[in-house]
Chains A and B, each alone.
Chain A
Amino acid sequence: MTGMMGVVNLDAEYDFLQELTYFRCGAAVPFAGRYRLIDFTLSNMSNAGIQEIAVFTRNKYRSLMDHLGTGAEWDLDRKRGGLFILPPDWNDPSDVSKGDLQHYHNNRDFFSRGNPQYICISGSQFISNISVREAFRHHLQTEADVTLITKTFPVLENEHNHCLKVEHDEQGWVSAFTNDKINPAVFSGMYIIGKKLFLDLVEECISRGKTSLFQDGIKDNLSRLHVQTYHHSGYSSVINSLESYYKHNMRLLDSENYRKLFFTDQLIYTKVKDEPPAKYNSHIEVKNSLIANGCVIKGEVENSILFRGVKVDSGASIKNSIIMQRCHIEEGAVLEDVIIDKDVRVSKNRTLIGAKEQPYAIAKRSSI
């Protein structure tokens, strides 16, 4: 079986998370107590044996590069292939490409050097633990030109408004893309395509002055392409707003969801921090929470997610909140319905209360 190369295309994503994306791109936003959004896509690709992965990024990528490093955590520090972080730095005066096609065009060498004949392209907003290998098998079996990974959500929510939905027949062949609000078959943003077709589409789109490979190359060419769907049946979520970010963090506090996302045959990888196990003091109360390593808890925590290295002093109380890496919540502070970014110090007896529908977000490294 000839394999796949991977592309994580962040060029088509907006920095949608307000305070959380002041200093970083969406893909680098911390999630679920330990991860960054991009970890899910990267781990899924790596778990499918994809060894050559390019990350196309345009803005605010310092944090992302810091996180990804050599790619060792995803087993992508390879002699052949490996992880390529490709920010825009092209000085080709003859280049007429626009939009994300610029990336595909200017990084042609990445594609032409790789042996695999198929390409798996994805964004970072679809959070799942999916067997991309299965999807690939499906792609080969159906001899499709393009296979879209889709997920049927029984109830559509706000975040799905921004997602494309697909209409398909019983065999899974796609007949139309819609934005319709009742179609539950949501396109995840991940798809598989043959390399030759991919390169042809890129050239064609550029010569026609287009800006988006998926929009112009695939969606608008649906009539002449055989586009299949591969339905992901496992747990997944789409994160494209602060609201959906908060909601899907909190949904992991339902142990069913937590298990479905993390306890499958595949692991989700992330940057290792070498923190010790979380330490609980003798007089504390912790309920229904996700706690990462390196936390030292001397106060109360309920319905919350604590990232690595959070310190909660005695008498502090945290409810329905997301507290990111290395925050220090001092004595007597009260936090409810808040999202606190990395390295924030909440001083003694301070009270911060947001609203469930609109959690109060606090930017990185502030002192309150």
Chain B
Amino acid sequence: MKKECVGMLLAGGEGKRLGLLTKDMAKPGVYFGGKYRIIDFTLSNCANSGIDTVGVLTQYAPLALNRHLGIGQPWDMDRSDGGTSILPPYRVKDGGDWYCGTADAIFQNLHFLDQYNPEFVLVISGDHIYKMNYSAMLDFHKETGAEASISVIEVPWEETSRFGIMNTNNHLAITDFEEKPAIAKNNLASMGIYIFNWSVLRQYLIQDASNPASSHDFGKDIIPAMLEDNRKLFAFPYRGYWKDVGTIQSYWEANMDLLDDDSCLRLDDPHWRIYTVNPNQPPHYIGPEATVRGSLINEGCQVFGNIKRSILFYGVETKMGSCITDSVIMPKVKVGKDVILERAIVKEDTILPDGCVIKPEADEKLIVIDKETSFENFTYVKQL
């Protein structure tokens, strides 16, 4: 039963800033990239990094997420020893409570980790889009003799005030941590990916849980406490694509990033597949009058309209004369004749009536539509 490294994937976040997208779905369960849900990236990273034991901490609106995860089979995590375990909040004889903070979520599952008695614990969150080899980070962690390693990425200097910034010495040892500094001394931002020595983390979690003043957060409480005690913390530099899809704007941008002719996030790398649940759809059909440019289209789509710089999830139907530009269209959406969609995110199962024009009021904005949206207030293309 002993495992060298166990992953703990935080997937309970509500993602308030995603508005309609997380109305009835936890943020990690939101659809992304024409085929996936956001959590698929971190789970696939685990699978591809050889981490076969992952606890998934759920809390907010977990139904779709639970169904998606199933027994972990798509990620090759249907294991008799390890695999994925869904860890929701629970009650016991003397109480029990919701998870109130990222550290608290792990603290409430100490017994889960103790079962495996791991050397190391990888803490990740299911709301970032990136491909990363955690085993390289684990090697780094062992080589440096760190007690905690935090993965960092260089961000543009003008954006440092949006991130948690790690100040390091020349050997990447973390000297100090600043949450959203006004004037930063460094541009290495924390990616919210941690590897801890389990024995050390365990101690800090117990200590943190008994501190009523703590917000029980890794970034705000656990890491600063470890720095205070002069624990050995190292920054693991990551190069490559990484995006926090915390807002509708960044969610849309991350989707659009996939459409570049030379996208920096390659989805078709056979050595680093992103796995997901397969809906068993036939190849998609492009009609005789259709045009498709710079887009991603999934199986089961029937395209008779014009698609430009857009992403179509499975089972989307677009009728003749429809024009979809700069948009993300989720599964089983039906787009009627002559519909015009621009900079729109359309949630699953929405039916867009013929001739409907959907675009944001201002050019730089985005519009989110779901099946409960009333289309009465939208303009319509004049029917000839």
Contact = CB atoms under 8 A, between A and B. Distances in A.
Contacts of A33: 282-283
A287 B275 contact: no
Contacts of A306: 283
B299 interface: yes
B71 to A, nearest CB: 12
A261 B298 CA distance: 18
A290 B292 contact: no
A77 to B, nearest CB: 10
Interface stretch (A56-64, A183-191, A264-272): A264-272
Nearest to A301: B286
A280 B285 contact: no
Given A32-B283, A291-B284, A293-B298, A275 B261 contact: no
Contacts of B74: 272, 274
A279 B156 CA distance: 30
B35 to A, nearest CB: 5
A242 interface: no
A281 B296 CA distance: 9
Interface string A268-308: 11101011111111111111111111101010000001110
- Interface residue tally on B, bucketed by range: 35 or more
Given A34-B282, A290-B283, A277 B298 contact: yes
B82 interface: no
Interface in A241-271: 253, 255, 258-259, 261-262, 267-270
Contact of B296 (A270, A276, A287, A288): A276
A25 B118 CA distance: 48
A274 B278 CA distance: 8
Contact of B294 (A253, A259, A281, A294): A281
Contacts of B273: 274
A262 B282 contact: yes
B283 A255 contact: no
Contacts of B290: 286-287
Given A277-B297, A284-B293, A269 B280 contact: yes
Contacts, number: 113
B297 A291 contact: yes
Contacts of B34: 276-277
Interface residues of A, number: 42
A288 B287 contact: yes
Given A274-B273, A289-B286, A281 B261 contact: yes
Nearest to A35: B282
B297 A282 contact: no
B295 A258 contact: no
A128 to B, nearest CB: 14
Interface in B207-240: none
Contacts of A283: 293
A274 B280 contact: no
Contacts of B298: 277-278, 293
B35 A276 contact: yes
A268 B280 CA distance: 7
A276 B274 contact: yes
Choose among B33, B259, B288, B290 the residue with the greatest number of A CB atoms under 10 Å from its CB: B288
A293 B35 contact: yes
Contacts of B312: 277
A275 B33 CA distance: 12
A69 B378 CA distance: 51
A134 B322 CA distance: 39
A267 B282 CA distance: 9
A34 B33 contact: no
Given A276-B35, A281-B261, A296 B283 contact: no
B278 A280 contact: no
B345 to A, nearest CB: 16
Nearest to A287: B288
B42 interface: no
Contacts of A259: 302
A276 B296 CA distance: 9
B372 interface: no
A267 B309 CA distance: 30
A275 B278 CA distance: 10
A342 to B, nearest CB: 14
Nearest to B44: A274
Interface in B259-286: 259, 261, 267-268, 273-276, 278, 280-286
B267 A282 contact: no
Nearest to A302: B288
A276 B258 CA distance: 11
Nearest to B263: A279
B285 A255 contact: yes
B106 interface: no
Contacts of A305: 283
Contacts of A272: 74, 278
Q: Which of A267, A280, A282, A309 has the most B CB atoms < 10 Å from its CB?
A: A280
Contact of A280 (B35, B276, B280, B297): B297
A313 to B, nearest CB: 12
Contacts of A262: 281-282, 300
Given A267-B280, A276-B268, 18 more contacts: A32-B282, A33-B282, A258-B282, A262-B282, A276-B34, A279-B268, A279-B295, A280-B292, A280-B295, A280-B307, A281-B294, A286-B290, A290-B282, A292-B283, A292-B284, A293-B299, A294-B268, A305-B283
Task: Give me the 4 closest cross-chain CB pairs, A-B, nearest first.
Answer: A276-B267, A33-B283, A277-B34, A282-B294
7 contacts: A269-B280, A274-B74, A274-B275, A276-B33, A276-B34, A277-B267, A280-B294
Interface of B: 33-35, 73-74, 259, 261, 267-268, 273-276, 278, 280-288, 290-300, 302, 307, 309, 311-312
